[in-house]
């Protein structure tokens, strides 16, 4: 008997020494092990894994194949009583590729080390997928009575290629129609000590346009150069754009974001944020210069200009008649792309150089920022404050594009968040090397999203 008791104690001690992984972290390791680098994506494998986990809990599963083999979208719908319109959570299944030799762990092994889950997509956005999946699974496990359907969508082709949510919206809108939705976007930023400073919820994304800059000159023998060389003219035009920075334009959500940073930062940073928000043009310019050292802050306060492709010449002894550059411009909501063309023409000021949009633009942007006056936005703000006491919550203009456009362009509000506290260091690993997310962050994020869903979809 005595020895038996000792054995039981020993077993109990062993179990305590190696506690089970938090369910969200456990699910994330499984998802990371499916390599969905896009291309080709293989998103259908994630759909198969999630179907096995969600169908037994009572979710209605629909897998939408795309014309590309192995690439699919996954819907899991938990039925409510239909008295209110659905809420949707969207996560993309694909990830960007890796520079494998620069990682300290296998990026597709789901390694757990020192309280973190490592792997491609840990932050963008398999971590979010795991949080959203666990939050909706908890609704089913806890048998929460629902007044509306809760739809969990795992998408293909967000990082690349054509069968993305825009394609899905054209072909399967009825499945994804909802009152409002959550996806990736804003941040829960914590300091190195682990305290959450602020939570930003994106209510709008920047748009992306391609501007073609073309210089023309005389095509002739390279032994007799003339002053109208197209490659020189294009180089000068790009040099003028390099020295030019579009003016600061703060939309309401960006103003709120900077006001939040002003409250949560120490001087002198706090003073610079306040100066940026002031009406003193010289103070704004000084603050812009100081704060724009950070490429993210630089990007959210203006339209940005980045040459990405050049095309000129075809033989080493021929001066080409034209030279062309593609310039990627990321615009803040409300920007008229035709106005960008005129701005480029003014800056370049060379009759030998022409500027046009790669695809003609019909009219002003129809994708308005999502309203903060909805039950979902209010619930998310409330639960963010409850989960991270003392943290400020602010709307945010996301500096890049996401898959939210499929809904926002149809008038459905979308709120973006990477639902786990991360540090600035962890943020730089996104699309980089040794991407990781904390297990405690995943736990807190799951709690926040679950409670948000109970708030917004639970029967009162
Ligand atoms: Zn992403």
For residue 400, report the distance from its CA to the centre of ligand 1, in Å.
10
What distance in angstroms lies between residue 31's CA and the mean position of ligand 1's atoms? 15
Percentage of the chain with pLDDT > 90?
Answer: 87
Nearest to 256 by CA among 211, 299, 199: 199
Q: Looking at residues 159-182, what average pLDDT do you find?
A: 95
Give the rounded percent of residues in the chain with a pLDDT score beyond 70: 95
For 365, 366, 372, 416, the CA distances from 369, given in Å and listed in that order, are 11, 10, 9, 12
Look at residue 365 in the predicted model and tell me its pLDDT: 56
pLDDT at 283 over 60: yes
> pLDDT tens digit string along 304-315?
999 999 999 999
pLDDT of residue 7: 44
Question: How close is the Cα of 159 to the center of ligand 1, in Å?
Answer: 7
Report how far ligand 1's centroid is from the alpha carbon of 155 (Å).
11
Q: How far from 164 is each of 38, 190, 230, 413, CA to CA, in Å?
A: 12, 32, 38, 18
Q: What is the pLDDT of residue 145?
A: 98
For ligand 1, the distance from its centroid to the CA atom of residue 153, given in whole angstroms, is: 14
Tell how far the Cα of 93 is from the centroid of ligand 1, in angstroms. Answer: 9
- CA Rg value for the chain: 25
Ligand 1: centre distance to CA 270 (Å): 30
Give the Å distance between the CA of 192 and the centre of ligand 1: 23
Whether pTM > 0.75 for this model: the answer is yes
Cα 197 to middle of ligand 1, angstroms: 22
For 212-231, the pLDDT digits (tens) are: 999 999 999 999 999 999 99
The CA 39 to ligand 1 mean position distance, Å, reads: 15
Distance 114 CA to ligand 1 centre (A): 25
pLDDT of residue 367: 78
Q: How far is the CA of 286 from the centre of ligand 1 (A)?
A: 33
Q: How far is the CA of 77 from the centre of ligand 1 (A)?
A: 22
* 187 CA distance to ligand 1 middle (Å): 12
Q: Identify the pLDDT of residue 401.
A: 86
In the structure encoding, which two tokens stand for residue 14, read together? 């062993």
In whole numbers, what is the pLDDT of the chain averaged over residues? 93
Determine the distance separating the centroid of ligand 1 and the alpha carbon of 412, expressed in angstroms: 20
Ligand 1 center–CA 135 separation, angstroms:
19
- What spacing in Å lies between the alpha carbon of 447 and ligand 1's midpoint? 21
Q: How far is the CA of 266 from the centre of ligand 1 (A)?
A: 30
- 365 vs 443, residue with greater confidence: 443
91 Cα to the center of ligand 1, angstroms: 8
Distance between Cα 156 and ligand 1 center (Å): 11
The sign one gets for the Cα dihedral 200, 279, 292, 213 is positive
- 122 pLDDT above the threshold of 80: yes
Taking the centre of ligand 1 as the mean of its atom positions, its distance from the CA of residue 388, in whole angstroms, is 23
Burial state string for 33-63 with b = 16 or more CB within 10 A and e = fewer than 16: ebbbbbeebbbbbbbebbbeebeeeebeebe
Neighbours of 135 (CB within 10 A): 25
> Residue 172 C-alpha to ligand 1 middle, in angstroms?
22
Q: Ligand 1 center to residue 358 CA distance, Å?
A: 25
Query: In this predicted structure, what is the pLDDT of residue 460?
Result: 83
Rounded Cα gap, residues 57 and 79, in angstroms: 12
Residue 124 confidence (pLDDT) above 70 = yes
- pLDDT number for residue 192: 86
Mean pLDDT calculated for residue range 63-87: 97
CA distance 241 to 297: 20
Q: Which residues face 49 on adjacent strands?
A: none
Average pLDDT over residues 260-282: 94
The arithmetic mean of pLDDT across residues 56-61, rounded, is 98
As to burial, measured by CB atoms within 10 angstroms (0-12 exposed, 13-18 middle, 19+ buried), residue 306 is exposed
pLDDT for residue 286: 97
Q: What's the confidence (pLDDT) of residue 352? A: 98
User: Ligand 1 centre from 402 Cα, in Å?
Assistant: 7
State the burial class of residue 5 (Cβ atoms within 10 Å of its Cβ: 0-12, 13-18, 19+).
exposed
- Is residue 161 within 8 Å of 125, Cβ to Cβ? no
Asked if pLDDT for residue 251 goes beyond 80, the answer is yes
* Alpha-carbon dihedral angle through residues 426, 328, 128, 184, given to the nearest 10 degrees: 120
Q: Which of these ranges, 156-160, 181-185, 286-290, 375-379, has the smallest mean pLDDT?
A: 156-160
- The CA 125 to ligand 1 mean position distance, Å, reads 5
CA of 17 to the centre of ligand 1 (A): 35
**Span from the CA of 230 to the centroid of ligand 1 (angstroms):** 39
Residue 4's pLDDT band, with cuts at 50, 70 and 90, is: very low
Distance from C-alpha of 400 to C-alpha of 420, rounded to nearest angstrom: 19
Q: Each residue of 350-408: pLDDT tens digit?
A: 999 999 999 887 665 567 899 999 999 999 999 999 999 999 999 999 998 889 999 99
Q: Given this model, what pLDDT does residue 17 score?
A: 55
Residue 193 burial (CB count, 10 A) = 6
In this structure, are residues 91 and 125 in contact, taking their beta carbons and an 8 Å threshold? yes
CA of 127 to the centre of ligand 1 (A): 10
**What pLDDT is recorded for position 18?**
60
Mean per-residue pLDDT for 114-128? Answer: 97
Tell me how far the alpha carbon of residue 185 lies from the centroid of ligand 1, in angstroms.
8
Question: Which region among 6-10, 181-185, 401-405, 434-438 has the lowest average model confidence (pLDDT)?
Answer: 6-10
* Per-residue pLDDT tens digits for 8-32: 444 444 445 567 999 999 999 999 9
Q: How far is the CA of 82 from the centre of ligand 1 (A)?
A: 31
């Amino acid at each position: 008997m005595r020895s038996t008791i000792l054995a039981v104690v020993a077993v109990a001690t062993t179990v305590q020494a190696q506690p089970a992984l938090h369910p969200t972290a456990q699910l994330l390791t499984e998802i990371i092990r499916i390599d969905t680098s896009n291309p080709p994506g293989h998103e259908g494998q994630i759909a198969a894994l999630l179907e096995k986990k969600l169908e037994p809990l009572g979710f209605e599963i629909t897998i939408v194949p795309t014309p590309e083999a192995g690439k699919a979208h996954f819907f899991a719908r938990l039925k409510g009583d239909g008295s209110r319109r659905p809420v949707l959570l969207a996560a993309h299944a694909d990830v960007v590729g890796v520079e494998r030799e620069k990682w300290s762990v296998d990026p597709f092994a789901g390694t757990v080390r020192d309280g973190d889950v490592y792997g491609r997509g840990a932050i963008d956005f398999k971590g979010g997928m795991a949080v959203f999946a666990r939050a909706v699974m908890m609704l089913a496990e806890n048998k929460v009575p629902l007044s509306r359907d809760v739809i969990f969508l795992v998408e293909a082709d967000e990082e690349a290629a054509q069968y993305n949510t825009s394609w899905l919206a054209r072909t399967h809108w009825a499945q994804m129609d909802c009152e409002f939705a959550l996806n990736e976007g804003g941040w829960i930023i914590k300091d190195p000590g682990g305290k959450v400073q602020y939570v930003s919820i994106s209510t709008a994304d920047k748009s992306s346009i391609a501007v073609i800059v073309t210089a023309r000159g005389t095509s002739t023998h390279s032994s007799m150069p003339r002053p109208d060389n197209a490659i020189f003219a294009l180089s000068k035009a790009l040099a003028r754009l390099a020295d030019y920075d579009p003016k600061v334009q703060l939309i309401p959500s960006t103003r709120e974001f900077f006001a939040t940073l002003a409250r949560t930062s120490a001087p002198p940073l706090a003073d610079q944020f306040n100066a940026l928000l002031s009406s003193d043009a010289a103070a704004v310019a000084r603050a812009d210069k100081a704060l724009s050292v950070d490429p993210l802050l630089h990007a959210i306060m203006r339209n940005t200009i980045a040459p990405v492709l050049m095309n000129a010449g075809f033989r080493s002894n021929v001066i080409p008649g034209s030279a062309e550059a593609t310039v990627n411009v990321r615009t803040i909501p409300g920007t008229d792309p035709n106005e960008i063309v005129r701005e480029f023409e003014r800056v370049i000021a060379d009759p030998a150089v022409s500027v046009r949009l790669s695809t003609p633009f019909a009219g002003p942007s129809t994708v308005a920022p999502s309203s903060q006056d909805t039950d979902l936005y209010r619930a998310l703000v409330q639960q963010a404050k409850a989960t991270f006491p003392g943290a400020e919550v602010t709307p945010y203009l996301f500096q890049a594009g996401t898959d939210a456009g499929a809904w926002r362009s149809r008038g459905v509000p979308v709120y973006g968040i990477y639902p786990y506290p991360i540090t600035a260091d962890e943020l730089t690993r996104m699309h980089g090397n040794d991407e990781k997310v904390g297990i405690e962050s995943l736990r807190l994020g799951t709690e926040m999203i679950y409670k948000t869903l109970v708030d917004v979809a639970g029967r009162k």
